[in-house]
């Protein structure tokens, strides 16, 4: 918790120009390291793919290899103030039935809930009375601004924590106005219950497998917590597969065959069309329950960058 307090204090401080300069240099160094790591990983995957091809070996379905190297969208959050309006819009309010999940927060676009500072996007959940709700937060979306079919979608984040705290990095089918949920499909790249700070979940929802019947898998961070450091959460998505990653670890692989098996042939694969991105920080809901007496506020989801790639093929 010493590291958590340090970063929240660090990011919130603007009066010391030396600290701001140091923060930006540190972020640039971290991004350079991440770029190098991604390049090394891509080379590694290419070598593995070549090895399997050369040997003519049969491989199991968890070894699907894809290379997405052409950057199509990137937000590095390098300009202080409101998020880039050419990329991000906002969902405002409480939605229908708490956004379908009985969530407790009111989403706003106020700087108190969403702001870019010192090279990071900060989404903050506050405990306050606002428009009939007891909590506020923010939900960003690229709907009608950016959408893509297939590719690598990733974000580097440090997650908040506490009972009833629910951050998510996810996607919805771009035809959801004409094809309401779950018909348009949903890909949850990362969602997490704040009371379980070492466990995240990767999930798909679609016709015949939504809500409590969705298809998902958990990942447990070995000997660590997601609220004490940054991690890269991503998917690599192509025809007939979605691979889920935390940092360099492939932990989930979903195919049409998995959906057929899980739904006794009743589910429909709807992941062959463009999707758009959402990032939000919810409070409470049926997924994890409400905050309790030990939940501390404010809680902040810290986003270093969001990047999307496509294949060069």
pLDDT per residue as tens digits for the range 170-225: 999 999 999 999 999 999 999 999 999 999 999 999 999 999 999 999 999 999 99
Query: According to the model, what pLDDT value does residue 24 have?
Result: 52
Q: Which residues, in sequence order, are bridge partners of residue 135?
A: 105, 127
Phi-psi region of 144 (alpha: psi -120 to 50; beta: other; left: phi over 0): left
CATH number of the structural domain spanning residue 227: 2.60.120.200
Judged by phi (left if over 0) then psi (alpha if -120 to 50, else beta), residue 164 lies in left
| Catalytic machinery residues | 186, 191
CA 199 – CA 218 distance, rounded (Å): 7
Domain that holds residue 227: 2-310
Give the integer Cα–Cα distance in Å for 259 and 287.
22
Q: How many CB atoms lie within 10 A of CB 191?
A: 20
The yes-or-no verdict on residue 266 having pLDDT over 90 is yes
Number of domains in the chain: 1
**Quick count: other Cβ atoms within 10 Å of Cβ 10?**
16
**pLDDT surpasses 50 at 263:** yes
State the chain's maximal CA–CA distance in angstroms. Answer: 64
Helix H or strand E encompassing 12: helix 2-12
For 46-68, what is each residue's pLDDT tens digit? 333 333 333 333 333 444 556 78
Containing 217, the helix (H) or strand (E) segment is: strand 215-220
Closest CA to 218 of 190, 242, 195, 186: 190
Record the pTM. Answer: 0.81
CA-derived radius of gyration, the chain: 19
pLDDT, tens only, 97-125: 999 999 999 999 999 999 999 999 999 99
pLDDT above 90 covers what percent of the chain? 76
CA neighbor of 121 nearest in space, from 82, 160, 159, 154: 82
Instruction: With beta carbons less than 8 A apart as the criterion, state whether 243 and 229 touch.
Output: no
Cα–Cα dist 234/308, whole Å: 9
For the stretch 242-261, pLDDT in tens is: 999 999 899 999 999 999 99
């Amino acid at each position: 918790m010493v590291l958590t307090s340090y970063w929240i204090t660090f990011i919130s401080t603007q009066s010391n120009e030396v600290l701001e300069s140091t923060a930006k240099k540190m972020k640039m160094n971290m991004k350079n390291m991440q770029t190098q790591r991604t390049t090394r990983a891509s080379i590694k995957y290419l070598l593995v793919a070549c090895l399997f091809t050369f040997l003519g070996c049969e491989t199991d379905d968890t070894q699907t290899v894809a290379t997405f190297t052409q950057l199509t969208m990137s937000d590095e959050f390098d300009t202080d103030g409101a998020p880039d309006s050419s990329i991000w819009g906002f969902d405002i309010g409480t939605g229908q039935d708490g956004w379908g999940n009985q969530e407790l927060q009111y989403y706003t676009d106020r700087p108190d809930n969403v702001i870019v500072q010192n090279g990071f996007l900060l989404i903050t959940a506050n405990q306050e009375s606002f428009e009939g709700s007891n909590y506020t937060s923010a939900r960003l979306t690229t709907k009608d601004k950016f959408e893509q079919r297939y590719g690598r979608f990733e974000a580097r984040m440090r997650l908040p924590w506490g009972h009833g705290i629910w951050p998510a990095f996810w996607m919805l089918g771009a035809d959801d106005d004409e094809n309401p949920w779950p018909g348009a499909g949903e890909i949850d790249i990362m969602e997490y219950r704040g009371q379980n700070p070492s466990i995240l979940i990767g999930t798909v929802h679609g016709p015949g497998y939504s809500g409590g019947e969705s298809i998902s898998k958990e990942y447990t961070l070995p000997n660590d917590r997601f609220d004490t450091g940054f991690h890269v959460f991503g998917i690599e998505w192509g025809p007939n597969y979605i691979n889920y990653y935390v940092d360099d670890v492939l932990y989930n692989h979903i195919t049409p065959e998995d959906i057929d098996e899980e739904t006794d042939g009743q589910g429909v694969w709807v992941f062959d069309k463009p999707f758009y991105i959402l990032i939000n920080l919810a409070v409470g809901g049926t997924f994890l329950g409400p905050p309790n007496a030990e939940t501390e506020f404010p809680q902040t989801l810290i986003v270093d960058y969001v990047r999307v790639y496509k294949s060069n093929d």
